[in-house]
Structure 1
Amino acid sequence: MIDAPNVFVESRKKPLCDVPSIGIGNQPIDDGNYLFKKEEMDDFLKLEPKAEKYFHPWYGSQEFINRRPRYCLWLGDCNPKELLQMPHCLERVENVRNFRLSSKRKSTVKIADVPTHFQTENMPKGNYIVVPKVSSQNRRYIPLGYMDDSVLCSDLVFLIPNTTLYHFGILESNVHMAWMRTVAGRLKSDYRYSKDIVYNNFPWPTPTPEQRAEIERTAQGILDARANHPDSSFADMYGEHMYLYPDLLEAHRANDRATLRAYGFPLKITEPDCVAELMKRYEALAEG
């Protein structure tokens, strides 16, 4: 609740502003046959060494925030002749096919015809931003990050391809986080990020070239500060002890200031006042 006029933020299928589209990650429907812990993958490769090139790091919200991937066996691009020469991989494919055929859902039975593919596939080329669907309410910032096309992600995260450092800076700012805290749903008490409510309705600024360049610089500063702590997870860096990472905290504060300037907001604006201003801009954009 904020001291401002009532505004209804409704579900929207496309972004309100001219920004890259957001989508969910991959949904295998594989009964676990294609997903491995590190040790399980290592054991599998001892039996099937030719499969090594078909394994990819796999991230959902938990794996991403803890910086501890699982691994996915992705055989969608495997030539049938090559697959027939890998009996342990073929066994996994047959398991997936039989699992799907036994489903009561017609859509799942249908994809039994393509058992090397996932039910839902989203594999952007190049770099893309990862947004965890669920994050602790104790974090001031939801940790977002970059992945490349060597990595596969589950449907427990959102993916935003075709982005720049500017987009990362705005999304990781206190302005976007204030918006998220106001309109996002909750899973128990944790934030539940939504593409149709949070991202697609978010009113982006219209920065000058200089302001945009400044946000790109401060966004890179966040990434550089994270890189100073390769042994720390995002759960460590963005938890209640974030003060133990002063370089990261200052990088975020610099990015917050740059973002506020791009919006034309006072640097000491309160979060309720920030949200009230964003709601005004949302209304104007939605009506326009």
Structure 2
Amino acid sequence: MAHDRLPLSVDERPVLVPIASLSLAGSPRSRAEDAEHLRALTATTAKLPPIIVHRPTMRVIDGRHRVLAARRRGEEHIEARFFHGDDDHAFVLAVSANLVHGLPLSFAERRAAAARILGTHPRWSDRVIASLTGISARTVADVRGGLGASGAGRARVGSDGRSRPVDGAEGRRAAAEIMEREPGLSLRQVARRAGISHETARDVRKRMLRRESPVPERLPGDPVAAVTRPALRRLRSAPALQESEDGRALLRLLLAHTGDAGQWHRLTGGVPPHRGGTVAELALECARLWAEFADRVERADED
């Protein structure tokens, strides 16, 4: 997951804990228990995964319905894995664990969870919070703006724990200044100091060698196209991608998912009203997978 380097790890080995010692308060759900889901869990004979419990408070982080089902079956103990972090991180873990299994949170509940996480971790990037809550980074940005939290610092912390500037142009300009001041530094050193990716630092250096501005010019009318079109042109001419099956598959996926803003707006009009929720869920899942992919690629580039 994209949050591997965040402080959300739990004990590997599960232990049996008394059900009577557990608290069910503090759930990210806004609704009562789901009766149908609870009946299914109560009736199942399959071995269910251990619940996750906040060790300092014995509050159930993940597995509320499993606890209720165990109570209904008259059981006195349940398998649990402990989380030893603070309350704020326990809530983050409760939301992110829901993405993997269990009864899914509604979109409204995930959006509300993002708002709460923004309140406790305003410097976390939109992409990190999106990967934890299962909504798009754009939705997180909208929530952040609604909270008046957009100005929470000039930098955001990514899932690798590194701080990067909110404004990509600011990071590029900082990199250009560093290169002019200390031309002997490696791209990795420049990227680390400026808080940008290794690939962005490489692009800044190439632009400076061509005597161009370190910040790409925006195309009129479509800020997304200003980034995607030049980037796609460079990738389509890269032999390393063209000469391998995986590379060609990646190019096809990128071409299919980087339409301009007008195209996405037109596609919105083609979604039947009664299928809007399904399409939205699939789109959010695609966004989450792309965010995780971007995080892995960026980490590999910096290692």
TM-score normalised by structure 2 residue count: 0.24
The structure whose residues are more often helix, as a share, is: 2
Larger-Rg structure: 2
Point out which structure has higher relative CO (alpha carbons under 8 A, 6+ apart): 1
